[in-house]
Structure formats: structure tokens, C-alpha cells
Amino acid sequence: MPVPVPAIELKNITKTFGPIVANKDVCLSAFRGEILALLGENGSGKTTLMNMIAGIYYPDAGQIFIDGQEVVIASPKDAFRYKIGMIHQHFKLVDVFSAAENIVLGLQESERFDLAKVNEKVRTISETYGFEIDPTKKIYEMSVSEKQTVEIIKVLYRGADILILDEPTAVLTPQETRKLFAVLRRMRDAGKAVIIITHKLHEVLALSDKVAVLRKGVYIGTVLTKDTNENELTEMMVGKKVSLNIDRAEPKDPQDRLTVKDLDAVSREGIKVLDDVSFVARSGEILGIAGIAGSGQRELLEAIAGLQKVGSGSIIYHDPKTGVDEDLRNKTPLEIRDLGVRLSFVPEDRLGMGLVGDMDIADNMMLRSYTKGHSVFLERKSPKTLAEQIIKQLEVVTPGVSTPVRRLSGGNVQKILVGREIAAAPTVFMAAYPVRGLDINSSYMIYNLLNAQKESGVAVIFVGEDLDVLLELCDRIMVIGSGRITGIVDARTATKEEIGLLMTKSEHIEGLHEEGGAKHE
């Protein structure tokens, strides 16, 4: 048998965005009938690389070969011509269209458009690969996993035989992930080249045939999955093996700090986003919140911070100094601050909500404090001092305090934000996905900061996505599903499977290891 030619081969691909080198001299090949996992930390350039194959970016230098022929992919149309299909992390679907309509959208077929025929073809594809999909269902009625299925069928319908999936499991439950993997294996067996981008090691080991690793935009190497193990891959990915190893102390003298009771909230679109949520956050402990993305985590934190209108229910803050209880329900952030409630909040959207991207670090420090004093003018001295302090303490990599935060890398942006929120000396500290997109070292710094807050007696609420981290870092984990609390478990005894099960449960039942605090009355 002749040496097989790779379905797609990249040679010395380089791509820069201003000062940031996203990919440097990356070489990579993927073969038909094989699943290649592209592994790397967040920000290591995996998505950028794949976007160049999909025609979204154009490489600064390097070559791309399809079946041994050098090609130029200058647009998604070119990618489509070479039968490359990419399933992006953020779905690109039209909500009010049906699955089938989305699938054929943008196709230029010469024959007349026949929806019945399309539906039929979609069903055939579904059967071949084992999808469960109703072609006539509208996108807005679909779950995240169904939407993903539509995206996959969309590229298959177009005849793609090189498939790229960008972090497909990020939004899925463990059960849905298993289903997806079965589908991907069937595609491999049908002779397609499958590339899956991920940073989750166990998925790589479970699914792929080969693993290619990127670190900080540089190609490290490709190994056969059967010849490798978690340790080796971690080492390739981050350089040296690191473990979470957080010194989780028992909560010291926990006091009820925030009591949320029977909280309801409706989104702007009129959909119920919080449904009868009740829980207690205590001082000196970390309360983790787990759940599939978009299950109401954001709304819950924003409701507490005064950014989300709520219906019925109450959010009682127990002031540790005065002992007075204040209801924060439907108060504005300013009113909450005026009550003397020291609430810090690290929102999910750092540059869109927590910080102002075009402002420099010092001016971003001022966001929380600029109203102080009666002068009509700004006082820029102390924010600048604070900025310098945070840069030093949290090892922020920046040219200086007057650099716009947009120019910093994700990890440094987050350090600035977390640093500012901690500097406010909070009694309640809320963080939503604080390590998303951060490299391992920055992530650990954030975990340690959260842990330090807890030890100094702050009530920490931590919304996370990595269950392993939640289990190692938190004291209790509250699971939220479709806006309802499906359980509160002890993080020291709970298992990943338990939490996974709770994440998919839509009806409320008492948690498996439910503790006293959040009982339903």
C-alpha cells in the first residue's frame, strides 16, 4: 500500500494579530478515517488555526495542502469547495428558521428549492450517522445540543469530508457528549477526516486516534492516542505538570451572609430564567454553581448585583457589622452600594461589562470609585496607585498603567478585573467563569485569590464550568438547570457523575447531599 496522503496538511502556518502571534510555523496533517484532536490551552491558537482552514482568516505565511495539492483558502467559499466544514463554538443559525431551512441556507443549487426533498435528505444523513433531529423544528425551540446537531448536518449536507469541530463539548452535558462522540466515530468510519478542538484531556483520550498539541501558538507535536497518557499530554500542553493542589480549609465560623429565597426572574424576551431559586451563601466558604451554560447562572448573579429585574422572592443581605438585614431585590447597583453592602462581582463578559476595553488600566480601576468625593473633577492618583499595586502583586504583563486593557491578553485582563474587585474589600464576592480563556498559571492564580478571599471570611460565589475544579475548590456546589436549583451538594463528598446528573435534571428534587441551608419550605 502506498503511503497515504493527508486529507489536509498545513506547513509553517503563521498568523499574527497586531502584537499577538496566534500561530507560529505550525505544521499539521489530518488523514481520512481518523479523528485528530487538536489540543491546547485556551488562547493557544487552536481556533485561529482552524479558522484559517475554514477560510475565515488568511495566514500571513505558510502553505495549505488538500490531498497533496497546494491550495489557497481565501474565503469560506473556497473552504466549501475543498469540502471543508467547520462547526464553530458559537452557532451561526437563524433562530426563526427550521432545522432544514438553516441547513440549506446559502446553498446555490440550480434546481428549484424543495423543502420536502431537503427534509428527506436531512433524515437520510441523520440515519446514517445516528443523529436525532426533526428537520421541521424551529431553531429557537431547540436545545443547545440539537442546535449543534443542526450545525453538523449543515456541513455534512454540503458534502464536507474534512470536519472541524471547535470545542463541541463545551456546551454539552456528559450524556450529550457521549452521543456526539458516537456520531463522530461513525463519521470517521465513513472515511471522513475529523478534527476536534478541545482542551479536555479525558475527551481526547476517549475519542481521538491522534493528538496534535499547540502551546502558545507553537506546534509542539503529534502523538498517537494509544501511545500516550494524560500526564504526557499535559506536559506537552503546559510545559510542566501542574496540579490544582489547593489547600482547601474547612470554613471558619460560617455565618449566613446572603439568603436568596424563592427568586423568580423573566428575561427580556419573556422567558423564565430563574424559577424559585433559594439558597444561602455563607461567609468563609466558597459556594460553587455548576450547570450547563445558560441555565440561569448569569441571571442569578446579575439579580444579586442589581442588574437583572426579578419578579417575586427576596435577596437578603445580612450585614456582618451592623447585623441589619437588607433586601437587595430590585435595587440598582448604586443603591446597593449606598446601603453599605460590599458586593464585588466579576462578570462573565470581562471587556463588555467588567471593564472598558479602550480605557487604560488606571482608568479602569476608577470604574468602582470615581464617584467618591464632591469635586466635579476626577481624582486619578489613587486609581493609578491601585493599578500599579495590582500589576505588581498579580504579575500582570503590561507595558504600563496607561495601556488600554483591550491590548492585554485574556489572563491579564482578568487579573486586572479580579484585582479591582478584591481591592474593594468585599463581604460577598461573586465570580462568573473567572478562568474562562485563561492559561493554567493564570487560572491557578485566580483560584488562589478566590481561596484567599474565602479564608479572610468573604462569602464567595463561584460559577464554574470545569467540574473537577469545582469539586476541588468549593465547599458546597449548587447545581442549576433551566433556572431551577436541582441540588446543593457537599463538594468534599460529591462526584462528577452526581453533578452531571443534576445538571440535566429539569424538575426540582432535593439534592443528593442537601445541606441545611437551602431547604425548600
Instruction: Report residue 271 as a C-alpha cell.
Output: 422567558
Residue 475 CB, nearest approach to other proteins (Å): 27
User: What 3-state class would DSSP assign to 223?
Assistant: strand
What is the C-alpha separation between 12 and 15, in angstroms, rounded? 10
Among 1, 2, 18, 116, indicate the residue that binds other proteins (CB under 8 A). 18
Among 4, 61, 340, 395, indicate the residue that binds other proteins (CB under 8 A). 61
Among 33, 60, 266, 514, indicate the residue that binds other proteins (CB under 8 A). 60
Neighbours of 448 (CB within 10 A): 13
Among 4, 74, 92, 448, indicate the residue that binds other proteins (CB under 8 A). 74
What is the C-alpha separation between 235 and 239, in angstroms, rounded? 5
Identify which range of 12-20, 36-44, 117-125, 314-322 contacts other proteins by CB under 8 A.
Answer: 12-20
Cα distances (angstroms) measured from residue 491 to each of 83, 287, 432: 46, 9, 18
Total residues contacting other proteins (rule CB under 8 A)?
Answer: 47
Nearest to 125 by CA among 166, 83, 177, 160: 160
Check binding of 352 to other proteins (CB under 8 A): yes
Helix (H) or strand (E) holding 325: strand 325-327
Which pairing describes strands 314-318 and 256-266: parallel, antiparallel, or unpaired?
antiparallel
> Phi/psi of residue 431, each to 5°?
-135, 130
- Each as own residue / partner, the long-range contacts of residues 186-192 (CB below 8 Å, 24 or more positions apart, any chain) are 186/128, 186/129, 186/130, 187/129, 187/156, 187/163, 188/33, 188/34, 188/35, 189/33, 190/128, 190/129, 191/32, 191/33, 191/161, 192/32, 192/33, 192/160, 192/161, 192/162, 192/163
Identify which range of 63-71, 83-91, 157-165, 322-330 contacts other proteins by CB under 8 A.
Answer: 63-71
- State the binding string over 301-330 for other proteins (x if CB under 8 A, else -): ----xxx-----------------------
Instruction: Report residue 147 as a C-alpha cell.
Output: 442546535
Q: Which is nearer to other proteins, 118 or 405 (CB)?
A: 405
- State the binding string over 353-392 for other proteins (x if CB under 8 A, else -): xxxxxxx---x--xxx-xx---xxxx--------------
Check binding of 71 to other proteins (CB under 8 A): yes
Residue 356 CB, nearest approach to other proteins (Å): 5
Identify which range of 35-43, 61-69, 97-105, 166-174 contacts other proteins by CB under 8 A.
Answer: 61-69
Binding residues for other proteins restricted to 327-346, rule: CB under 8 A: 332-334, 336-337, 345
Contacts to other proteins by CB under 8 A: 11-12, 14, 16-19, 58, 60-63, 69-72, 74, 305-307, 332-334, 336-337, 345, 347, 349, 351-359, 363, 366-368, 370-371, 375-378
